[in-house]
């Protein structure tokens, strides 16, 4: 869904030009957010290669060395709430499921602790998560949310993930951003648009909007389409986000 192919002629022409500028800004923000998980993914690959080259078996203890990289990336991304890696089955001989994930706490970084026992009813079965499937089955990044965090019911977040692979699928690296922080950053990009602008996720859920006519987290009746009586222009953000940015005339 490219903006140049979506917008109708006439009054929407200026909206299309504005849309292209806004899409570039949002893509820049996504590149910045994905940089953290990509750095973690590269470190997982580097550590595993070193262990294998030395004739050893890559184990959960080797992933503990990810903390310095995670801390560095969280420092570079102050709006990120957490960052880490989730192992694929078969990667670690000593356990089928493993999460090496650190979150911001009151006194620094704290490890995320979740129930990974598949025999229990409250297991955190990340193998079934949409973002994990996107990485495992399609080798692509993903943006999931906004949603209420499983591990902290009072946190409304978006999760950004990248596949980790090195001749084989190793797992997923990702980061969580609280919606309050992410929305603030996105609003900064959408201000001054001269139009009402809304950013919509793949489930038609509003991610951000510069107008009170759309509430964050609410669902639109359909994906924005130029000429549908509401929107002047719309285009895919891309980068595997599933986001669509759309502009409407000011109310």
pLDDT digits (tens, 9 = 90+) for 65-100: 999 999 999 999 988 999 999 999 999 998 999 999
What is the rounded CA–CA span in Å between residue 112 and residue 71? 14
CATH number at residue 158: 3.30.450.20
Same-domain pairing of 22 and 41: no
Same-domain pairing of 203 and 110: no
Q: Is residue 186 part of a domain?
A: no
Same-domain pairing of 114 and 204: no
Same-domain pairing of 172 and 73: yes
Helix 12-53 vs helix 67-76: crossing angle, to nearest 10:
160
Same-domain pairing of 47 and 160: yes
Same-domain pairing of 10 and 42: no
Q: Is residue 58 part of a domain?
A: yes
Note the pLDDT of residue 6: 44
Same-domain pairing of 145 and 206: no
Note the pLDDT of residue 13: 62
Q: Is residue 63 part of a domain?
A: yes
Domain span at residue 23 reads: 3-28+192-248
Two tokens at 117?
């026992």
Note the pLDDT of residue 121: 92
Note the pLDDT of residue 118: 92
Question: Model confidence over 120-156: pLDDT tens digits?
Answer: 998 999 999 999 999 999 999 999 988 887 555 457 8
Tell me which of 181, 213, 239 is where a domain ends.
Answer: 181
Same-domain pairing of 115 and 212: no
Evaluate whether 68 touches 62 at the Cβ level (below 8 Å). Answer: no
Q: How many angstroms separate the Cα of 36 from the Cα of each of 42, 130, 218?
A: 10, 20, 28
Note the pLDDT of residue 12: 55
Residues of the chain with pLDDT under 50: 4-11, 153
Same-domain pairing of 89 and 8: no
Q: Is residue 187 part of a domain?
A: no
Note the pLDDT of residue 29: 97
Tell me which of 150, 181, 212 is where a domain ends.
Answer: 181
């Amino acid at each position: 869904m490219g903006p140049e192919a979506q917008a109708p002629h006439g009054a929407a022409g200026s909206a299309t030009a504005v849309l292209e500028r806004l899409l570039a800004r949002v893509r820049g923000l996504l590149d910045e957010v994905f940089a953290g998980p990509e750095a973690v993914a590269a470190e997982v690959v580097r550590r595993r290669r070193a262990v294998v080259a030395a004739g050893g078996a890559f184990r959960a203890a080797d992933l503990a060395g990810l903390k310095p990289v995670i801390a560095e990336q969280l420092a570079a991304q102050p709006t990120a709430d957490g960052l880490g890696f989730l192992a694929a089955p078969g990667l670690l001989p000593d356990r089928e499921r493993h999460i090496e994930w650190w979150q911001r706490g009151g006194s620094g970084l704290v490890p995320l602790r979740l129930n990974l026992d598949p025999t229990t009813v409250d297991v955190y079965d990340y193998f079934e998560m949409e973002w994990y499937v996107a990485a495992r089955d399609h080798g692509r990044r993903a943006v999931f949310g906004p949603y209420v965090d499983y591990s902290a019911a009072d946190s409304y977040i978006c999760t950004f993930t990248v596949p980790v692979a090195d001749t084989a699928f190793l797992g997923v690296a990702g980061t969580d951003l609280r919606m309050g922080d992410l929305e603030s950053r996105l609003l900064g990009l959408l201000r001054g648009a001269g139009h009402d602008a809304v950013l919509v996720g793949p489930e038609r859920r509003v991610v951000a909007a510069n107008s009170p006519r759309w509430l964050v987290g609410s669902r639109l009746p359909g994906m924005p389409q130029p000429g549908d009586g509401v929107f002047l222009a719309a285009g895919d953000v891309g980068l595997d986000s599933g986001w669509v940015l759309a502009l409407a005339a000011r109310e």
